[in-house]
A and B are shown apart, each in its own frame.
Chain A
Amino acid sequence: MGFILDGLDVEDYDRSYGDRELLRRIGRYFRPKLPAMVLVAAMIVLHSLTQSAIPLLISWGVDRMEQGSVSDIGWPLAGALLGIGVLAWVFNFFRQWFSAKVTGDVVLGLRTDAFDAVLERDMSFYDEHPSGKIVSRVTSDTDEFANVVTLTMNLLSQVLLVGFVTALLFFRDVQLALLTMAVTPIVMGTALAFRRVARRTTQHAQRSLARVNANLQETMGGISVAKNFRQEATVYSEFRPINRQNYAVTLRQGFVFSGIFPVLFLVAGLATVVLVQVGGSSVLGGRLSAGDWYLFLQAVGLFWLPLTSIAAFWSQFQQGLAASERVFALIDASPRVVQEDAQPVGRLAGRIEFRDLTFGYEPAHPVLTRFNLTIEAGESVALVGHTGAGKSTLSKLITRFYEYSGGQLLIDGRDIRSFDLREYRRQIGAVPQQPFLFSGTVADNIRYPRPDASDEEVRLAAMRVAGGDWLEALPDGLGTDVGEHGRALSMGQRQLVALARLLVQDPAIVVLDEATASVDPLTEAQISEGLDVVLAGRTSIVIAHRLSTIEHVDRIIVLDHGRIIEEGDHAALLKAGGRYCEVYNTYFRHQSPDYQPGTGFVPVAK
C-alpha cells in the first residue's frame, strides 16, 4: 500500500502539535469574538430547550389522552407546538447568522496570519518549497479549518441537548435513564477509535491536494514549454498518478467519515430494540407509565443522535485540526534570516563592507569563504566573472534575502543584523535579471515601491529610462496591461519597467543584476546615459556581461569562485594585463562592430 502515499511525506517545516496546544491556539482566534460567541451559545441553549420541550409536551399529551380528555387539550397542545416551533426558528436564525459571522472572522484571522507568515519567510524557504504547496496551505487548509468552527458550534448545541435530555430522563425514571446511558461508552469508544484514522487520512488528503495544487501551478505556469516541445502528453502522464493518488487518498478518508455514521447509527438502533423490549416489559409490569415509555423511546432520537454526532464530531474535528496544524506549521516555521535588533536606519550613505564573510546556500557548500570587500558610499562597482562565480549571491546578501554563517556585513559601519529590515530594504533598489511584474498596468508596476507616488512622478521615472521611447511601442503607453507576471510585455520591456520602478523607489544602494541583459544595445546605451545621472550619489553595484555596461564604473571587481582576484578601473585593469584582460579578450573583444577575427587583443602579462 505504501506506494499510494508516495510523495505525501511531511515537509520539513511540518510539525505535530498536541491536541491541547492546537486547541489553545485555535482558541486564541475565537477570543476576540467572545460576545458574538456568547450570543450564539445563548441561542443554542434556547434552541435546545425548545427542542427538548417538544417531546415533553407530547408525552404530557399522551398521558392526558390515556385519561381520556382529548377535547380540552387538543387546541392548547397544537398551539404550544406551533409557538415553540416559531421560537425555535427565531433562535436558530440568530444562531446561524452569528455563527457565520464568527466563522468568517476566525477564518479571516487565520488566513491573514498565514499570509503574514508567507511574507515573513525568507528566500531560502521559497527555494525549498514549491509555491503551489504554500498557496494551498493559505487558502485550502484554512478553508478546511472553517469546518472546525462550524462543527464546534454544532457540537455545543448537541452537547447541550444531550445534557437537557439526560436531566429529563433521570428526573422521570432513574433505572431506565441508566439503561439509556449504558450504551454511551460504546458509542464514544467507537468514535474515539475512528479518531486516529481520521486524523491521518485527513493529513494525507490535504497533502495530496497540495500536490495537485503544486503540479497545476507548475504546469499551467510553464505551459509554453509543454507547447514548444509538444510534450502535453508527458505533462498529462505526470499529472495522472497525482490525480489518481488524490483519488485513492481521499477515498480512504471518505470511507472513514462515511463509515462512521452507519456504524454509530446501528449502535443506536440496537439500543432502541433493548428499550422497546425492556421498557415495554416495565409498562406491563406497571413500573412505568405509557407516557414515560414513549418519552424514553423519543429520547433515543433526541439523545443518541446527538450523541453519535458528538462522537462523529471527534473524527471530523480531526479534519480541521489536521488542516490547522498545517497552517500553524507555516506560521511557526522558523526563519533563517534573524535580525538581532530593529534599530531605525535613517538615510543610508551606502557604504558596504563584507568582513570575513562566509556564506553558502547549503552550509556544506560555501559560495563565499571569508570574503572581504568594501564599497564606499557613492561608489559604483561592477562585478564580473563567469557564471556561478557568486555575483548574484553578493547582491542577495546585501538585500538580506539570506543569512550568512560567518563574518560580518556592515552597512555604513553598522551591522546589517541590527537594522529594522523593512526600513533598510526600502533604501535598496534591486533589479533582477528576470524581473517580476505584478498584473496591472505599467504605471501600477512602476508605482509599486511607493504607492503614493503621483502620476507625474511615475511618468517622469518612465521617461528617465532610455528617454521613454519604449513607451511608444506599448499599445496604451503607461496604461498598458502587463498581464500576469508581465507576460504581455517583451522581456526587454519588463526590464525597462523594473528599472523605472527602481527610480521611483529612490534607493541609497542600487543593485543591477544583469538588469539590461535582454535589452538591445541601443536602448541599453540610452539607459546607461540616463542611469549615470540617476545613480550619481548612490552606491551602485552592477553585474553585467557587457562591456558597455561596466566600462564607466569607478571600480571593476573580478570574481572567481567566490573570491576577488582583481580590482581596479577599466583602464588600469587593462593596463595591468591580468585576469581582466583575459576576460576582456574572451568576453568583450569581439562584440565590437569593427571587430576583425584575430585582432584587438589586449596583452596579458604573465
Chain B
Amino acid sequence: MSAVTAEFTVAGQHRSDRRGPVRWIASHLRRHPLVLFAFLGGSVVMVVLNSMVPALTGAAFDAVLGDGDGRARELAIVSAALLGVIVLRGAFDLVARLGSETLAKRLEREARDELYVSLLGKSQTFHNRQRVGDLMARAANDIRQLSHMVNPGIDLIVDSGTQGIIPLFFIAVIDPRLLLVPCLFAVAFVVALWHYMRQLNPVSTRMREQFGDLNAGLNEAVRGIEVIKVTAQEPHERRRFAVNATRYRDSFVRNGLIQARYLPPLLLAVAMAGALWHSLTLYGAGDLTLGDVVAFMGLMGLLGFPTFISIFAYSLVQLGIVSARRILTIMNTETELDRNADGHSGTMRGEIVFENVTFRYDDGEPALRGVTFTARPGETVAVVGETGSGKSTLTKLVPRIYDVDSGRILVDGVDVRNWNLDSLRSQISTIEQDIVLFSRSVAENIAFSLGQRADRADVVQAAQDAQADEFISELDDGYDTVIGERGVTLSGGQRQRLAIARALLTDPAVLILDDSTSAIDSATEDKIQAAIGRILQGRTTLLITHRLSQIRWADKVVLLRRGELVDSGTHDELLSRCALYRRIFAHYDEVDVPAPVDGVEATGEVPGEMTVDTDGEAGRRTSANSEKAVAGDTDGPEEAVVV
C-alpha cells in the first residue's frame, strides 16, 4: 500500500493505509479490535441503558398518577429497576471511556512511531527542505491532535450519536407518529453539520499550518539566540514572533466565530417547540397519556446533549483530520533513495572512481560539473579549492547522501546506486564540516557511530587517537560528562576532536575528513593525522583542508574550481604547474623575519618530521585533466578590489 521509497525501514512494522487521512486513521484503529470493541460496545450499551432512564421515570409518573392501591409498591419496583439500570450504566460507561482513551493514546503512539520511521527514511534532500520546528510541531502536536480526535472527539460522537438515535426507538414505542419531528430535525442537523465542517476545514488547516510556522520560527530563534543577542535584534525577533503568534490567534478567533455560528442548537429549539406542539395535539386527541407526553419531552431533551456537544466533538475531528493530512503529506513525499536491500554488499577495498560526475542541488546551477578522478585503495586524496567550489558536495556523493545527476561514481568498481545502502554507508565514515553532537555523554557521542555497541576500551582508544582523551579526562565526569546540545559547552577544537573520535571508532574502509581540523592547532592536528595514518593504513581517505601541512601528506591533490576539476596531481606537481593552486596558497604563512637556524633548538614536538609517514607506496600519477591547469588564472588582477 505504501509504495513510498525509504532509506530506512523497520522490519515487521505495521503497513498502514496511506491513501487518505480517514483511511489512515482507520487502518491504525483497526489494529486494536478488542479495545475498539470495548469502546463501541460499551458506548452503545451504556446509551441504551441511559435512555431507559427517562422511560423509567415516565413509568414512575404513571405509577404515581395512576389509580389503584398498589401505587406505592409499583413505585418501589420502578425505583429498584432504575437502580439496577444506573449501576450497569456506570459500569459500561467506564469500560467505554477507558477503551476510547486507550485507543486514542495507542493511535498517538503508533502514528508518531510511523512518522518517525518515515522521517528517518527520507533523503537528505528532503530534510534540507524541512524546517525542524515544523517537523516538531507535526510529530509532537499534530499527532497529539489525533489522540484528541479519538478521545474526546470520536468518543463524544459515538456517545452522543447513539444517545441521539436510541431515544428515537423509545419514542417510536410511545407512538410512531411522534417520530415526525425528531426525524425532520435529524435531517436538518446532518445538513447543518455538513455545512459547518466545510466551513471549518480551511480554517483548521490554516490554524495547524500557522502553529507549525510559529513553532518553526520559535525554534529558529532559540537556535540562533547568540546572533540575536549580539546584534541586539530582540525587538525585531519579538515582532517576528508576534506576527506569527497573532496570525495563529486570528485563525483561532475565526475558528471560534465559525463555531459560534453553529446552527444545530437553534434547530433543536425549533424541534423542541414542534415536538411539544405535536405531542400536545396528540394528547388533546386522547392518543397519549400525560405520562407519555412527559416521557416524550424527556426523550426529546436527550437530543440536547448530542446537539450541544457536537460543536466541540466535530471540531476536534476536523482538526484531527487536518493534522492527519499534514502528517501524511510528509510520509507520502517521495524521496529519491531507497535502501536497496538487494544491492551489492561486501567488504570494501576502498577504490573510488568519479566518472564525469555532474550534480546539482534542487534545480540550481550544477555544484559539480563533469568531475572525473580516481582514488586507489589506500590512497589519501586531498580535495582543495576555494570556498563554495563543491568540495563538501563531492564528498557527500560517495556515501550516496545524494544521487548524481549524470555520470557515475564507482566504489570498488560498483556504481554506488547498485550498492546496498547499509553496506555502503556503514563502511564510509564522514567527519562533517558542520559538526553535530548530541546532548548526552561524551562516551555515547563517540559510540554513536557504532550504535552504542562499543565497549569503553574502544571508545577510549578512539578518543586517544583523536587527541581527545586528554581534555575528556579533565572534564568533571570524564567520559560520562553530558555535553550540551550541539556540543556548545565544548570549544570548537574539542568538538572537532570528538567528531573525529566518533568516526575513527567505526574503522571505516573510506574516511572522509571535511575540514575537520580547522579549529584545531597544527600540532594536535599532526598527532591526529599520524594516528589516522596508523589506524587507517591501507584505507582510502578523502581529505578536505586548507592547510598545506595536511595537503603535503596526500598522495594526490584534486583541485576544484566552481564545481569543475581544474587539475590533479601531487602537491609538488600542482605547485609547479598550476597557477590557481599557487595563487590559493601563495598567501600562506611564512615569516620573512627569522634567520634560519636549522632545527637545532626546536623545543617540544616537532611534527614537521612526521610527514614521511605515508610517503611509501601509492605512486604519483599525473592527472588526465592537467590540461585544464591554466583555467584557474583567468580572473583578473591579483588583488581583487577591496575597500
Complex alpha-carbon distance, A355 and B180, angstroms:
91
Q: How far is the CB of B599 from chain A (nearest CB, A)?
A: 5
Interface residues of A in 427-461 (CB under 8 A from B): 428-430, 432-439, 448-449, 451, 460
- Please determine whether A65 and B293 come into contact, CB atoms closer than 8 angstroms: yes
Contact at B548–A592, with CB atoms within 8 Å?
Answer: yes
Q: Which of B223-261 contact A (CB under 8 A)?
A: 223-234, 236-238, 241-242, 245-246, 249-250, 252-253, 255-257, 259-261
Chain B interface size, under 10 / 10 to 19 / 20 to 34 / 35 or more? 35 or more
Interface pair B273/A82, CB less than 8 Å apart: yes
Chain A residues in 8 Å Cβ range of B63: 280
Residue pair A587, B522 in contact (C-beta under 8 Å): yes
- Choice from A236, A386, A473, A590 contacting B117 with Cβ under 8 Å: A236
* Best-buried of B384, B583, B599 by chain A (most CB within 10 Å): B599
List which A493-517 residues lie within 8 A (CB) of chain B. 493, 495-496, 501, 505, 513-514, 517
* Pairwise interchain contact B640-A467, C-beta atoms closer than 8 A: yes
Task: Report A-chain residues with C-beta under 8 Å of the C-beta of B72.
Answer: 281, 284
- CA A464 – CA B364 in complex, angstroms? 26
Contacts A96-B256, A229-B425 hold; do A604 and B601 have CB atoms under 8 A apart?
A: yes
Evaluate contact between B109 and A601: CB separation under 8 angstroms.
no
Residue from the set B252, B391, B600 with the largest chain A CB neighbour count within 10 Å: B252
Most buried by A among B72, B79, B384, B635: B79
Max chain B C-beta neighbours (<10 A), residue from A79, A82, A112 = A82
> Does B464 make an interface contact (CB < 8 A)?
no
Q: Give chain B nearest CB distance to A97 CB in angstroms.
A: 4
Q: Are A521 and B588 in contact (CB under 8 A)?
A: yes
Known A-B contacts A128-B484, A138-B218, A522-B386; A490 and B266 likewise in contact (beta carbons under 8 Å): no
- Set B7, B224, B436, B640: member contacting A469, Cβ < 8 A: B640
* B60-75, CB < 8 A from A: 60-61, 63-65, 71-72, 75
Which of the 9-residue segments B186-194, B280-288, B623-631 touches chain A? B280-288
Does chain B have a CB within 8 A of A6? no
Is A276's beta carbon under 8 Å from chain B? Answer: yes
Q: Does B214 contact A (CB under 8 A)?
A: yes
B364 to chain A: which residues have CB within 8 Å?
A: 475
Interface pair A135/B218, CB less than 8 Å apart: yes
Cβ contacts under 8 Å, B519 to chain A: 387, 433, 514, 517, 545
* B587→A522 contact, CB < 8 A: yes
Taking chain B's interface residues, is the majority helix, strand, or loop, or is none over half, making it mixed?
helix
- Chain A residues with CB under 8 Å of B448's CB are 225, 229, 231, 234
Chain B 113-130 interface residues, beta-carbon cutoff 8 Å to A:
113, 116-117, 119-121, 124, 127-128, 130
- A177: Cβ under 8 A from any B Cβ: no
Candidate in A236, A501, A591 with the most chain B CB atoms within 10 angstroms: A591
Known: A112-B238, A518-B515, A586-B523. A234 touches B260 (CB 8 A): no
B523 with A587: CB separation less than 8 A: yes
Beyond A239-B116, A488-B128, whether A212 also contacts B432 by CB under 8 A is no
A140 to B133, CA, bound (A): 12
Asked whether B234 lies within 8 Å of A422 as measured between CB atoms, the reply is yes
Select which of A101, A116, A139 is within 8 A of B214 by beta carbon: A139
Q: Does A228 contact B (CB under 8 A)?
A: yes
**Nearest CB in chain B: distance from A492 CB, A:** 3
Q: Does B112 contact A (CB under 8 A)?
A: yes
Report the minimal beta-carbon distance from A24 to chain B, rounded to whole angstroms. Answer: 24
Of the candidate stretches A185-193, A409-417, A523-531, the one touching chain B is A523-531
A475 to B411, alpha carbons, bound, how many Å?
30
B41 contacts the other chain (Cβ, under 8 Å)? no
B276 touches A78 (CB 8 A): yes
Interface residue? A13 (CB, 8 A) = no
| In the complex, residue of chain A having the shortest beta-carbon distance to the beta carbon of B470 | A388
Residues of B within 8 A of A92 (CB): 260, 265
**Chain B positions 423-461 with a Cβ under 8 Å from a chain A Cβ:** 425-426, 428-430, 432-436, 438-439, 448-449, 451-452
B277 and A229 contacting across the interface, CB-CB below 8 Å: no
Do A225 and B436 have beta carbons less than 8 Å apart?
Answer: yes
Q: Does B549 count as interface, using CB distance less than 8 angstroms? A: yes
- The listed residue (A218, A294, A466, A496) touching B642 by CB distance below 8 A is A466
Contacts of B8 in A (CB 8 A): 232-233, 236
C-alpha gap A472/B402 in the complex (Å): 24
A520 within 8 Å of B by Cβ? Answer: yes
A547 is an interface residue with CB less than 8 A from chain B: yes
Is B584 interfacial (CB 8 A cutoff)? yes
Chain A positions 107-154 with a Cβ under 8 Å from a chain B Cβ: 107-108, 111-112, 115-116, 118-119, 121, 123, 126-128, 130-132, 134-136, 138-140, 143
Check if B32 is an interface residue, CB within 8 A of chain A: no
Alpha-carbon distance between A403 and B548 when the two chains are bound, in angstroms: 40
In whole angstroms, what is the CA distance A272 to B298 when docked?
14
CB <8 Å contact, A224 and B79: no
Q: A244: which of B56, B102, B109, B229 is its contact (CB, 8 Å)?
A: B109
What are the 4 tightest A-B residue pairs by CB atom distance, in nearest-first order? A85-B269, A100-B256, A387-B493, A492-B387
Give me 18 A-to-B residue pairs in the complex whose CB atoms sit less than 8 angstroms apart, sorted by A's number.
A65-B283, A78-B280, A81-B272, A88-B265, A99-B256, A104-B252, A131-B223, A228-B430, A229-B426, A237-B451, A247-B108, A261-B97, A387-B521, A439-B220, A520-B584, A547-B589, A597-B612, A603-B601
Known A422-B232, A582-B603; further 5 A-B contacts with Cβ < 8 A: A58-B297, A88-B265, A121-B225, A254-B151, A386-B521
